[in-house]
Amino acid sequence: MITVAATAANTTTTISTLLAIATSFLLLLITSSPTTPKSSNYHTLFLSTSLSSNVSISNHLQALTHSPHIASSEANSQAANYVLKVFTSSNVPSHMASYHVLLSYPLSRSLLLTTTPQEPPFSFSLKQEPYKGDPYAAVSGEVVPTFHAYAKSGTAEGPVVYVNYGRVEDYLSLRKKMGVNVSGCVVLARYGKIFRGDIVKNAYDEGAVGVVVYSDRKDYGGGDDDGGRWFPDSKWLPPSGVQVGSVYQGTGDPSTPGWASSGGDGECERLTKEEVEKEGDVPLIPSLPVSGADGEKILRSIGGPVAEHDWQGSKDAPTYRVGPGPGILNLTFKGQENIASIQNVIGVIEGAEEPDRYVILGNHRDAWTFGAVDPNSGTAALLEIAQRFGKLQKQGWKPRRTIILCNWDAEEYGLIGSTEWVEENRELLASRAVAYLNSDCAVGGAGFNAMATPQLDELIKKATQQVTDPDNSSQSLYEAWTSSGTSPLIIQYTTHCMMISSGCRNLEILCFIGMLQLNVKNLEDEISNKDINLSPILKSIKELEKAAIKINDQRKEIEASKGWRTWKEYQMKVRDVNDRLMMAERAFTDRDGLLGMTWHKHLIYGPTKNNDYGSQSFPGIGDAVRVAKNLQTAESWHRVQHEVWRVSRVIKHASLVLIGQLT
């Protein structure tokens, strides 16, 4: 479905702005019908401070984040009850949607560094230091030890090699430029650029036996720009701070791929540990995250060639070399994987005109630690939105479509709570969901950004034009955004949702066509002088353009015309156009998904094979081209052509849906 993720900032003052933005999306989507003459009044009221002050949202954030609340902990269950209570008391009928899923926790960890055979190995403490005066020091003991969720249990020992960000191109440099082979080594990678699960997978593919990932000062520690300061004096990670996270490459409960972990424990089909490993999404070598300080200590033990310039750290860091060795790392991780109970909280405000069309607003609640920014700045906004909807309902407002508020659990482990719910409700969502708006990390520093499927560009523009810049009341957020130097180019968002797609009346499908043409142009450049025929895509884009112009005209006709014979006839027309727009994005998906990433169904944009955080256009073609350039075989180029055909087919499907006629 159409997805939007919005982030606003400037800690306390902007949280209500985010909420306003979030709601602008909803109201634009929901109440833009002429059947609700007073909708603009409700809209204004919704955005006004008269409904409530910033105190309630601040209290929500406090209530959600007073203790560490990792998925399936008692504290997270209490937070779920809090969300349920706020929804319910806002007159939003709500319930828990619980699942039993495979989660992973650390049992024991150790990391030893041998610098010279004469000396005994150095043992890292693997502890994060609370800072002096930390008001939450008393509960810091409840924080789970730093680890990589779903890391392989075991010991790995070998000479250490520094691999920069652990990307495919970094290994290529190591091999081709520096003559370093990481086979049998423990690699040291720095966080950033790519998803940590891909750091581990890429290392495994290169023959490494273990992976240590650290947060480099240059990227996370104030670097050279902020005088080397860190939290609480600045926003940067302290030297002992460690980024915890999942290294699972799939989506949803690894033991129930493609179906919901519903019912009590033991009541649904579940893969064995061996079968889970065969699926290929859990790592097969152990890994550990470490702090910037520990990473630097390991770097000092590495000799060999000096790493290239952009592999280096901040000014006062030691010179980074790539190894292998002479430092030897011995890494041991023992994890416990067990079936645990998680709770999503679901609230439903039934639509007055189209109760069977869903606009979904969601965010997760679970956090590795306290989760003040990620995710609960977004959950606090979600709760504030629920309360404002409650107040609007008291004044007679009803949404046009059904609004579903979702508070997900176990997102940090791999989008588990949302995925299980979607898997369970797949059929209804596939036919009824109009759009999904996500508000993770809603507040976290200055500036505004949003990511969405390209069809929502115009909507985001309109919404930000209606919101006042929290730092300068004489301009709109849109103006602040455009004048900030970062053009409001809306980045395509890789939807992890299985039910990709959909649309709404405000959808501008036409600019999407320009984007498609540009993608083909880029592709042409990339495969010039290869015998690949791109005309099927060009032809399908032409058809799509015609279909888009046609539906745009139909939309304008509906908006302009006042002389409908009956109200019913008008409603049917609107519904028909909306449905076709909604289905168009779904048409870009393909049941078989992307090769090697079958979970991702969208063939126009998606993640790249070696970076789940990345996004690219025509991801299937892009990956096929990379493979073909590497192998240079007729067969591999033939696969590129196959991917070209696949893309041209989904574009054709989209135009057929827009036209709304059978062939």
Ligand X SMILES: *[C@@H]1O[C@H](CO)[C@@H](O)[C@H](O)[C@H]1NC(C)=O
Q: Which residues form the interface with ligand X (CB under 6 A)?
A: 12-13, 54-55, 58, 110, 112, 155, 157, 175, 181, 183, 207, 330, 332, 472, 474-475, 479
Contact 302, 159 (CB under 8 A): no
Half-sphere exposure of 651 (CA within 13 A, CB side): 29
> CB-wise, 97 or 187, nearer to ligand X?
187
Q: Where do the DSSP E strands lie in 500-653?
A: 605-608, 611-617
333 membership: H or E segment, kind and range: strand 328-349
d(CA 158, CA 208): 9
543 is catalytic: no
Question: Alpha helices of 237-304 — where are they, by DSSP H?
Answer: 273-279, 292-300
Write out the DSSP string of 6-63: EEB-SHHHHHHHHHHHHHHHHHHHHS-STT-TTHHHHHHHHHSTTS--HHHHHHHHHH
Closer of 412 and 469 to ligand X (Cβ): 469
Minimum separation from the CB atom of position 246 to ligand X (A): 24
Cβ nearer to ligand X, comparing 377 with 501: 377
Least distance CB 85 / ligand X (angstroms) = 21
Rounded to whole angstroms, how far apart are CA atoms 584 and 496?
18
Torsion, Cα 17 21 24 29, to 10 degrees, reads -160
**Cα end-to-end distance, the chain, whole Å:** 25
Give me the least distance between CB of 202 and ligand X, in Å please.
14
No. of helices (H) and no. of strands (E), the chain: 19, 16
State the nearest-atom distance from the C-beta of 375 to ligand X, in Å.
19
Q: What is the b/e burial string over 521-557, where b = at least 16 CB atoms within 10 angstroms of the residue's CB?
A: eebeeebeeeebebebbeebbebbbebbeebbebbee
| Comparison of 425 and 464: residue with beta carbon closer to ligand X | 464
Within 241-327, strands assigned E span 245-246, 287-290
What Å distances lie between residue 125 and 108, 113, 330, 636, CA to CA? 12, 12, 14, 48
Q: How far is the CB of 195 from ligand X (least distance, A)?
A: 24
Angle subtended by helix axes 54-65 and 376-394, to nearest 10: 130
Between residues 112 and 348, which has the closer beta carbon with respect to ligand X? 112
Decide whether 17 or 418 has the Cβ nearer to ligand X. Answer: 17
d(CA 70, CA 370): 8
Of the two residues 173 and 332, which places its CB atom closer to ligand X in the complex? 332
Angle at which helix 567-587 crosses helix 535-560, to 10 degrees, equals 160
Per-residue burial over 615-637, b = 16 or more CB atoms within 10 Å of its CB, e = otherwise: bbbbbbbbbbbbbbeeeeeeebb
Distances (CA, A) of 370 to 75, 137, 318: 10, 12, 33
What are 319's two structure tokens?
């010179």
For residue 289, the minimal CB distance to ligand X (Å) is 17
Q: Closer to ligand X by CB, 93 or 179: give it.
A: 179
Q: CA-CA distance, 238 to 31, in Å (whole number)?
A: 46
User: For residues 111 and 195, what is the distance between their CA atoms, to the nearest angstrom?
Assistant: 23
Return the structure tokens found at 410. Answer: 């176990």
Least separation in angstroms between residue 172's CB and ligand X is 10
**Catalytic residue (one of 353, 411, 423, 585):** 411
Nearer Cβ to ligand X (113/299): 113
User: Is the torsion defined by CA of 574, 579, 580, 581 positive or negative?
Assistant: positive
- Nearer to ligand X by Cβ, of 330 and 393: the residue is 330
DSSP reduced 3-state for 369:
coil
Four-residue CA torsion sign, 410, 414, 418, 421:
negative
Tokens for 454, please give them: 């390209």
Active site (catalytic) residues: 411
